[in-house]
Amino acid sequence: KAGVTQTPRYLIKTRGQQVTLSCSPISGHRSVSWYQQTPGQGLQFLFEYFSETQRNKGNFPGRFSGRQFSNSRSEMNVSTLELGDSALYLCASSLFLAGDSTDTQYFGPGTRLTVL
């Protein structure tokens, strides 16, 4: 079974531009989460989607947004890019089964965004 895929793997943008990152979950997984990883702040939760609805949101400005499609694929968008948005953006998916105490999140390889 294929793992979580993210595209593109690398991206270079300039300040003020906007960017869209894509994530395809493991087949059958219905929940998708996004995380930002930077050297200074570490790994931080951005948001989570299930059934095309945002379930949880981390402490990030409104410039960060996302959505999920009916096939569970997800995109995240960052508008008006700032230098501090340079990071590795990781997507994770999980099955989302009621009462499943073994379910967990599996991560993709990430998209490395550089803002110049």
Partner 1 sequence: AQKVTQAQTEISVVEKEDVTLDCVYETRDTTYYLFWYKQPPSGELVFLIRRNSFDEQNEISGRYSWNFQKSTSSFNFTITASQVVDSAVYFCALSEAENSGAGSYQLTFGKGTKLSVIP
- C-beta of 83: minimal distance to partner 1 in Å? 21
The rounded distance, in Å, linking the Cα atoms of 11 and 113 is 5
The rounded distance, in Å, linking the Cα atoms of 116 and 113 is 10
User: Does 103 participate in binding partner 1 (rule CB under 8 A)?
Assistant: yes
- C-beta of 92: minimal distance to partner 1 in Å? 8
- For residues 111 and 9, the answer to whether their CB atoms sit within 8 Å is yes
**Interface with partner 1 in residues 20-59 (CB under 8 A):** 30-31, 33, 35, 42-45, 48, 50, 55-56, 58
- Find the part of the chain contacting partner 1 (CB under 8 A) among 17-25, 61-69, 71-79, 89-97: 89-97
How many residues touch partner 1 under the rule CB under 8 A: the total is 34
The rounded distance, in Å, linking the Cα atoms of 45 and 30 is 18
Residue 79 vs residues 14, 53, 70, 93, 109: alpha-carbon distances, Å: 11, 20, 24, 24, 22
User: Does 98 participate in binding partner 1 (rule CB under 8 A)?
Assistant: yes
The rounded distance, in Å, linking the Cα atoms of 82 and 86 is 8
Select the residue interacting with partner 1 from 13, 20, 22, 107 (CB under 8 A): 107
User: Does 90 participate in binding partner 1 (rule CB under 8 A)?
Assistant: yes
Whose Cβ is closer to partner 1: residue 20's or residue 107's? Answer: 107
